Structures are given as structure tokens and as C-alpha cells.
């Protein structure tokens, strides 16, 4: 059956579904006693149309809910009015609100513009490029948004070479400037580690995702900065990476805790990994947050609900989605890429997993008892 879904069967199928024919621009124009060109110009805000005429057109359009058919518009304009948002390997992030949050922000910012978002998901990291190429070469999108940049990101190289407008969530080591917005993850590594130092820890480990991811790379740099600043020698055995999942975090923690001189605190780059870390700590007979401190990285909502509640960092994913769209519009309008680069500084959200255990409200039990009072979020 799947193979029977040929292009031809699809096209013939369409004929079966009827639908009332909508108002075309020419018909609408005739109604108003104007030419199609004038109506079009009125709607599109061109200068060469009398203010009075324009008002009349817009009023009638609003009254009759008239909107120019996007199909005609697109053909003539040679633009698809469509922005592609690429999900990378969604199966790996199944329980993470990251992409959906970002998508929501994007959709919000696009409200009222003629643009729409199409999503495309890359089956695997290897097939990511494929996804971009298809979107671009088949003229399905005017611009692209995506996240999870890598240090050396072929997608960025491709889009730049192909001159496709885009905004990335995340920096890279590209020598050419491109519009992007990023969270400063050196802060996540640095401030997380520094907090443990301030709490008296000396043997502090870091668990992150794959280091070819730019944000992971930054986290690792930040961690080393904090150590250096405190005069603590960097021990490579304490900095491990694994995949960005709960299991990855657990596995990495197992490696760390199995060492002869295990760490007393672990900073994580990702909250799901932190969850796995906490699970592994418990499995080893230790108490997360008491025997071994844990700090996460991206404020997964589940972090507030577990026990001990996870100390983490603000993420602002939805706001980032919104901002990416604004930057894209600016980019399309000609603003140079150098002016379209923002780095947001995340803030620590202090809960309980990062230090000696505080008396919990219902300390006998295993599920977080209430939202911690000490939580501090950014405005």
C-alpha cells in the first residue's frame, strides 16, 4: 500500500474533493470597479495608489474576508512565503520541550505576516544535509531556521554558499558572519562549576553532550575557565561526554563514580542528562544533592518536579524562537549579518540539587514535595 502512493495516484485523487470556489482578485476588483492591478497594489501597500482608494479596497477586503490566493502570489513573486524549520533527529529529544517551545515562539512571531512555517525532520544527523538541500533546491522555502549548531557546521556553509537567508540558534566556528542567536553556554559551564567551588567542592566533574556541538563546546570551555580561575588543576578524567539523553547521562555518571577518586559534584550540560546522572548516583548508593551535587543546563520543566529539585539554568527557548523570526525579517530586509548576532546570558536557577541537602517539606518521600521557594528565574 505504501508503495502505491505514487505521485499520479495522488494527483488524480485531488479531483475527488470538491470545494466552493473562492473570490479571486479579478472578481473582487470588478466588484469594486477597479482594475486588478490597483487592488493588488492597494493591498500590498504600494505607493502609487490614492489613499482614499486604498482605504476603500482594504475595507472591502476586510468585510469580505478577501485574501489574495497565495498560489498566484507565489508564482509571480518567485517566493514561497515559507520558512523551513528543521528538527534534528527528533527521536533523540523525544521528551524535551526544546523544539516545540521554539516552534511555538516562531509561530507567534510569524502571526500577521504572509509567511508560514513548514517543519522538516532529519531522520538522523547524517541525513541532516539532505533535508536542507531538498528544502532549498526544490524551492519549498525562502529561508531556514534551525538549531543545535556544530563547531564546524556543514549546514551553515551550505546555506551561506547557496545564499539562502537563515537564522541559526547557536554560533559556530564559521569564519563568515551569519545571523544567529545563542545562549552563552560558557556561563553554564563556568557558573555551574564556580558555584560548586563556592560551596567548598574541589573535585568537580562535567558531563556534556558530544563536543562537536557548539553549545557543548562552550560548556566545556566555561568549566575549565572556572577551574582555572579557582586555581584547581584540570583533570581530563573528570570531563566526559555522551549522547544527549537520560541514558547518556547515567552512563557518563557511572564512568565518573567508578573512578578511584570520584567527584563530589557534577555539572551537566543538559537537564535530561542530569536526570540520568541523579539516577546513577542513587543507584550507586549515594544521595544526589547531598553526597554528590548536580547542576543541569537548560531548565527542563521536569527539573522542578523531581527530588531533589534540579538546579539549572534558564533557557528562554520560546523567546529565542520569536527573536529568530524578527532577525530573519531584518536579514531579508537587508540588515547585514554582523548586526544580527545576539548572545543571551543564561541565569542560574537555584533549587536543591546543587548543595548539601536542605530539609525537604516531606522528607520521607521520593517525589518532590513542592516548588522550591528559592527558585529564581529571570524576568
Partner DNA sequence: TATCCTTTCGAAATCGTTTTCGAAAACCGG
Partner DNA sequence: CCGGTTTTCGAAAACGATTTCGAAAGGATA
Write out the binding residues for its own copies, residues 325-364 only, by CB under 8 A. Answer: 326, 329, 332-334, 361-362, 364
Q: What share of the chain is helix, strand, coil (3-state, %, to 5)?
A: 45, 15, 40
Q: Verify binding: residue 336, DNA, rule CB under 7 A.
A: no
Q: Minimal distance in Å, beta carbon 295 to its own copies?
A: 15
Window 111-130: contact mask with its own copies (x via CB under 8 A): -xxxxxxxxxx-x-------
Within 12-51, the residues that bind DNA by CB under 7 A are: 21, 24-26, 33-38, 40-41, 43-44, 46, 48-51
Question: What does 16-62 look like in DSSP terms, one character per residue?
Answer: TS--PPPPPHHHHHHHHT--HHHHHHHHTT-SSS-HHHHHHHHHHHH
Cα 25–Cα 27–Cα 30 angle in degrees, nearest 5: 105
Q: Which of the choices DNA, its own copies, none does residue 275 contact, using the CB cut-off of 5 to 8 A by kind? A: its own copies
Nearer residue to DNA within complex by CB, 46 or 123: 46
Label residue 65 left, alpha or beta by phi (over 0 means left) and psi (-120 to 50 means alpha): left
Is 248 one of the binding residues for its own copies (CB under 8 A)? Answer: no
Distance of CA 188 to the CA centre of its chain: 17
Q: Which of 212, 255, 223, 219 is nearest to 237 (CA)?
A: 255
Structural contact between residues 327 and 340, judged by C-beta atoms closer than 8 angstroms: yes
Pick what 125 binds: DNA, its own copies, none; C-beta below 5 to 8 Å, kind-dependent. none
Give the residue, chosen from 69, 108, 137, 173, that forms a contact with DNA under the rule CB under 7 A.
69
**Near DNA in 136-155, by CB under 7 A:** none
Residue 9, binding choice from DNA, its own copies, none, Cβ under 5 to 8 Å by partner class:
its own copies
In the complex with DNA, the residue whose CB is nearer, 38 or 206, is 38
Query: Which among 337, 267, 329 has a CA at the least distance from the CA of 81?
Result: 329
Cell of 276: 540520568
- With 0-12 CB in 10 A as exposed, 13-18 as middle and 19+ as buried, what is 285? exposed
Contact flag: residue 246 with its own copies (CB under 8 A): yes
Please tell me the distance from the alpha carbon of residue 331 to that of residue 308, in angstroms, as a whole number: 44
Tally Cβ neighbours within 10 Å of residue 212: 13
**Total residues contacting its own copies (rule CB under 8 A)?**
101
Parallel, antiparallel or unpaired: strands 143-147 and 341-344: unpaired
Question: Binders of its own copies among 302-321, rule CB under 8 A?
Answer: 302, 305-308
Binding partner selected for residue 38 from DNA, its own copies, none, CB under the kind-specific 5 to 8 Å limit: DNA
Q: Which stretch binds DNA (CB under 7 A): 67-75, 100-108, 153-161, 173-181?
A: 67-75
> Should residue 182 be labelled a site residue for its own copies when binding is judged by CB under 8 A?
no
| Closer Cβ to its own copies, 9 or 175, answer by number | 9
Query: What residue ranges bind DNA (CB under 7 A)?
Result: 11, 21, 24-26, 33-38, 40-41, 43-44, 46, 48-53, 68-69, 71-73, 75-78
Amino acid at each position: 500500500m505504501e508503495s502505491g502512493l505514487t505521485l499520479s495516484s495522488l494527483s488524480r485523487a485531488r479531483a475527488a474533493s470538491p470545494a466552493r470556489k473562492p473570490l479571486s482578485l479579478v472578481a473582487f476588483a470588478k466588484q469594486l470597479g477597479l482594475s486588478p492591478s490597483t487592488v493588488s497594489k492597494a493591498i500590498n501597500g504600494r505607493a502609487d495608489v490614492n489613499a482614499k482608494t486604498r482605504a476603500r479596497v482594504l475595507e472591502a477586503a476586510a468585510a469580505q474576508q478577501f485574501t489574495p490566493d497565495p498560489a498566484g502570489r507565489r508564482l509571480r513573486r518567485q517566493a514561497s512565503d515559507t520558512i523551513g524549520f528543521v528538527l534534528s533527529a527528533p527521536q533523540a529529544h523525544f521528551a524535551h520541550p526544546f523544539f516545540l517551545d521554539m516552534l511555538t515562539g516562531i509561530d507567534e512571531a510569524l502571526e500577521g505576516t504572509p509567511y508560514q512555517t513548514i517543519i522538516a525532520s532529519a531522520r538522523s544527523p547524517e541525513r541532516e544535509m539532505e533535508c536542507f538541500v531538498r528544502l532549498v533546491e526544490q524551492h519549498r522555502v525562502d529561508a531556514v531556521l534551525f538549531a543545535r549548531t556544530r563547531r564546524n557546521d556543514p549546514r551553515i556553509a551550505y546555506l551561506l554558499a547557496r545564499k539562502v537567508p537563515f537564522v541559526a540558534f547557536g554560533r559556530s566556528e564559521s569564519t563568515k558572519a551569519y545571523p544567529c542567536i545563542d545562549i552563552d553556554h560558557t556561563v553554564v559551564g563556568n557558573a555551574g562549576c564556580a558555584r560548586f567551588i563556592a560551596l567548598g567542592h574541589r573535585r568537580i566533574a562535567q558531563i556534556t553532550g558530544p563536543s562537536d556541538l557548539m553549545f557543548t563546546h562552550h560548556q566545556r570551555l566555561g568549566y575549565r575557565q572556572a577551574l582555572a580561575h579557582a586555581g584547581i588543576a584540570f583533570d581530563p578524567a573528570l570531563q566526559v561526554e555522551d549522547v544527549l539523553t537520560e541514558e547518556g547521562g547515567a552512563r557518563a555518571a557511572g564512568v565518573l563514580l567508578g573512578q578511584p577518586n570520584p567527584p563530589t559534584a557534577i555539572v551537566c550540560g543538559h537537564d535530561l542528562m542530569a536526570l540520568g546522572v541523579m539516577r546513577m548516583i542513587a543507584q550507586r548508593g549515594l544521595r544526589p544533592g547531598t553526597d554528590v551535587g548536580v547542576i543541569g543546563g537548560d531548565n527542563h520543566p521536569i527539573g522542578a518536579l523531581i527530588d531533589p529539585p534540579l538546579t539549572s539554568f534558564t533557557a528562554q527557548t520560546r523567546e529565542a524562537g520569536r527573536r529568530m523570526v524578527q532577525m530573519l525579517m531584518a536579514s531579508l530586509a537587508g540588515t547585514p549579518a554582523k548586526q544580527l548576532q545576539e548572545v543571551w546570558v543564561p541565569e542560574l536557577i537555584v533549587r536543591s540539587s546543587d548543595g548539601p541537602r536542605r530539609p525537604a517539606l516531606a522528607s520521607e518521600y521520593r517525589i518532590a514535595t513542592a516548588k522550591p521557594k528559592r527558585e529564581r528565574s529571570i524576568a
